Structure 1
Amino acid sequence: MNLSNIAIKSEKLHFKLENKKTKDGMTDYEMVVTVRFVFDSPDSGEKYIGFITPEGGNDEWDERDHFKDFKTSVNGKNVNTTAYRLTDFIPKDVKQLDEVKKYFKEYDIQKAKQEAEYYKKSYVYYFKANFKKGENVVEHSYQYDGSSGVGYTDFNYIWSTISKWKNQKVDDFEVIVEPGNALIAIPEIKMKNGKVINWKLVGEGNMDYGYKDYYNKDGQYRTLYAKLKSGYLYFKTKNFKPKDEFSLVEIIHLNGNYIFPEKTEKNLKFKDSLTQKVYSVKFLTADELKKITDKDLKIMRNYFYAVAGYDFSDKKLKDYFSKFLWYVPIGKDVELNEYEFEIIKNVNKVINDRKNEK
């Protein structure tokens, strides 16, 4: 865990969300991560390198819950990796900490203890690399299930370890996020120079920023939201020194526990009172149902088709759903799950009952 005399000339990160079907027909995603480093070594020899995982899990996490199929190559040759708990590498006594302090201008023991506590469940993939003098290419790839909440999944990546390499920066840095058709949120990421990562969209879809409430001194933080029809998001810069870690949230259900801002900077919404009634239509009273117009029932019946990206021919429906960031028409052939069909059935019952009354 020492400051290395090896510099990172370039780093290219690629995050790709791949969808998979769960047993109940819901769409879930896992992250496929590929990383390509180009290091500049002042000498040749055997180096020991560790790749830290974003978070910990239980003792069976590796092949079941979080990370799968971790592969590493050095200069085109595959190498064996071993996973250790990160705390195995944290200095255990004051003498060791004093040795570590030599490598940092500003390093305090309290901070070391806080980092050890934060990362104590994390693992590090540890491997030997035969470096030659000059440029060396190290590549990683793995699949990552993330950490699930109700209606969303967090995917994280630790890149602050850049500070452990010579000059504590990456000369040429690029990150690509390929979300497929998933609705994603990326909290604003700051660099040590105070600038923020400014994402660019290559392709088609909706992308905008909103402010989420957060329990810190600032009260809120800015978050990028994106729903793409095709393409990817990317960021590229020179002399990359990250302050914040990378975090991406895949929002699976709009009625889950993820808290949305009221609207985005371009006044796009995520929810309104009508679309939220869709989920509870079965439990509304007769008086409450009377207040819902025929026009509103039509919108409610088509809500899940809109979420799935149905390209409506009906202009009124298309105009209504276009006020939501997540509405990105992809075509007529869209898939719904059993849960969504059940709710549509409840709305159809209200519509049919109303027709029969007339």
Structure 2
Amino acid sequence: MKTTLSTILILFLTFSAFGNDGVYLTRGSVIYPTQETRISLDKEILSFTVRDRVGYVDIQFQFNNPESTDRKLLIGFQAPTAAGDVSDSLSNSNQISNFTIIQDGQILPYKLKAAECEDCELKDPKDFQFTQFDPGIFVFLFEITFKPGLNQINHSYNFPASGNVSMDEFYNYILTTGSKWADGKIKDLTVNIDMGQNQYFYVNDIFGQTANWSIIGTGKVTDEKFDYIDNDSCRMVRTLSGQVQIKVTDFKPTKNIEFGVVSRYSFTSYPVDYEKIRKGEIVSIGNLFLEADYSKEELRLLRNTIYAQYGYDFNSPDLKEYFSQFAWYMPNPNLTMEDIILIEKEKEFVDKILLSSD
């Protein structure tokens, strides 16, 4: 009998329509059944760790099987092929790495299949030749036996960042599939996002007014917001170290998670400060290039923006006032200039400004 994605239980990944303005790789999701009414998703702890443009995902699921007998289900994890400005070779390469499902301390076996669409026949990936204009889907297939009562399932994988003309890097997680379990909700959801040290990033706010946002470590959830994804409001998060944590209970997901970095080298960037940049009220360092003829005062602001992003507490009143207008600025009175270790590209940028200022 032919197997299609519509006849199995799938861990559902999807991708949006795209144009030639970015590279869209892959994304992850909640395990979900197509017709499940008994087993509930009692808890999900979803942890993202991003390093060097790779997202490492660790998920702890807790399911409740109210029946007195075991239930064995065929599960799938669906990963779209790469799309956008990508080569055919990349389109035919599965972007999910280190895919692992663990139950009761045992790693579950899986088979990798592929399909042309969600309702299409699953075949060997070698049977297809995908392109950016004719994308497909990779599918990891495995079985899970849900014992009576609580079942702990651990899942991990990693995947590279996507990017487009507006965002340097972004990551997606399809959360709406959590509504496919019994009761149509995730009873207890925790989302942890660790982007690394000295970061300023956005998270689309899909969690509702009852959600609790906090920083585990040093940082803050700012008041800075912008509309980016289907008119969703995104919140800007500033971390010197640690991670943002979002907790919500009895959550009925209707939208999906996206988070990412607007500009890799500058915390002052479109779309957050676009109006101020356009009006000439602030200057942006962009991608660490001198993109115009700046005045000496502007060059001074550009150079010190680098140090402000590390949290340097300026003695000059005008610099202190200028950088205090930004939500990302967190001056550390204990930080000395000698404590700040610039990356090579930042050093080169500062040197160029010093030469231009002579």
TM-score (norm 2): 0.69
Distance 1:270 1:157 in 2: 33
Distance 1:311 1:80 in 2: 53
- Quote the residue 2:259 is aligned against: 248
SS at match of 1:70: strand
State whether residues 214 and 221 of structure 2, in contact with CA within 8 Å, keep that contact through their aligned partners in structure 1.
Answer: no
- Quote the residue 2:357 is aligned against: 351
Instruction: Answer yes or no: is 1:188 the counterpart of 2:190.
Output: no
Q: CA 1:163 to 1:258, structure 2 compared with 1: closer, same or farther past 3 Å?
A: farther
- % identical equivalent positions: 25
> 1:69 Cα shift?
0.9
Instruction: Answer yes or no: is 1:328 the counterpart of 2:345.
Output: no
> 1:205 Cα shift?
1.9
- Quote the residue 1:22 is aligned against: none
Partner of residue 70 from structure 2, selected from 44, 59, 75: 44
> 1:247 Cα shift?
0.5
RMSD of Structure 2 on Structure 1 (CA): 3.6
Matched letter for residue 97 of structure 2: K
| Contiguous gaps of at least 5 residues in structure 2 | 1-8, 10-33, 83-89, 122-133
Deviations 1:106-160 (A, max 9, x none): xxxxxxxxxxxxx964434321113322221111011221212356111001121
Deviations 1:300-325 (A, max 9, x none): 32222323444545554344323223
Which has a greater percent of helix?
Answer: 1
Instruction: Answer yes or no: is 1:13 the counterpart of 2:13.
Output: no
Distance 1:35 1:139 in 2: 6
Instruction: Answer yes or no: is 1:147 the counterpart of 2:154.
Output: no
- Quote the residue 2:214 is aligned against: 200
- Quote the residue 2:283 is aligned against: 275
SS at match of 1:61: coil
State whether residues 174 and 235 of structure 1, in contact with CA within 8 Å, keep that contact through their aligned partners in structure 2.
Answer: yes
State whether residues 172 and 256 of structure 2, in contact with CA within 8 Å, keep that contact through their aligned partners in structure 1.
Answer: yes
Distance 2:314 2:93 in 1: 43
Instruction: Answer yes or no: is 1:126 the counterpart of 2:128.
Output: no
State whether residues 267 and 328 of structure 2, in contact with CA within 8 Å, keep that contact through their aligned partners in structure 1.
Answer: no
Deviations 1:144-185 (A, max 9, x none): 212123561110011211132222212222212222232211
Matches within 5 A, 1:301-340: 301-312=303-314, 314=316, 316-329=318-331, 331-332=335-336, 333-340=339-346
Matched letter for residue 56 of structure 1: T
Q: CA 1:271 to 1:124, structure 2 compared with 1: closer, same or farther past 3 Å?
A: farther
State whether residues 7 and 165 of structure 1, in contact with CA within 8 Å, keep that contact through their aligned partners in structure 2.
Answer: yes
Structure 1 or 2, whichever has the larger Rg, is: 1
- Quote the residue 1:83 is aligned against: 112
SS at match of 2:186: strand
Distance 2:45 2:115 in 1: 24
> 1:201 Cα shift?
2.9
Distance 1:256 1:74 in 2: 41
State whether residues 174 and 237 of structure 1, in contact with CA within 8 Å, keep that contact through their aligned partners in structure 2.
Answer: yes
**How many residues of Structure 1 are paired with residues of Structure 2 in the alignment?**
297
Deviations 1:270-296 (A, max 9, x none): 996553378665752xxx64xx44xx4
State whether residues 268 and 285 of structure 2, in contact with CA within 8 Å, keep that contact through their aligned partners in structure 1.
Answer: no
SS at match of 1:189: coil
Instruction: Answer yes or no: is 1:166 the counterpart of 2:182.
Output: yes
State whether residues 86 and 123 of structure 1, in contact with CA within 8 Å, keep that contact through their aligned partners in structure 2.
Answer: yes
Q: CA 1:270 to 1:221, structure 2 compared with 1: closer, same or farther past 3 Å?
A: farther
State whether residues 168 and 264 of structure 2, in contact with CA within 8 Å, keep that contact through their aligned partners in structure 1.
Answer: yes
Q: CA 1:350 to 1:258, structure 2 compared with 1: closer, same or farther past 3 Å?
A: closer
SS at match of 2:184: strand
| Contiguous gaps of at least 5 residues in structure 1 | 19-27, 93-118, 353-358
Distance 1:280 1:176 in 2: 33
SS at match of 1:183: strand
Distance 1:277 1:234 in 2: 29
> 1:89 Cα shift?
5.0
Matched letter for residue 233 of structure 1: V
Distance 1:209 1:33 in 2: 27
Partner of residue 232 from structure 1, selected from 243, 246, 262: 243
SS at match of 1:275: coil
Distance 2:354 2:62 in 1: 58
Deviations 1:183-216 (A, max 9, x none): 211122156xxx5755233333232244535596
Distance 1:271 1:75 in 2: 59
- Quote the residue 2:131 is aligned against: none
Instruction: Answer yes or no: is 1:68 the counterpart of 2:97.
Output: yes
Distance 2:290 2:50 in 1: 33
- Quote the residue 1:32 is aligned against: 56
State whether residues 68 and 142 of structure 1, in contact with CA within 8 Å, keep that contact through their aligned partners in structure 2.
Answer: yes
Matched letter for residue 149 of structure 2: G
> 1:350 Cα shift?
3.1
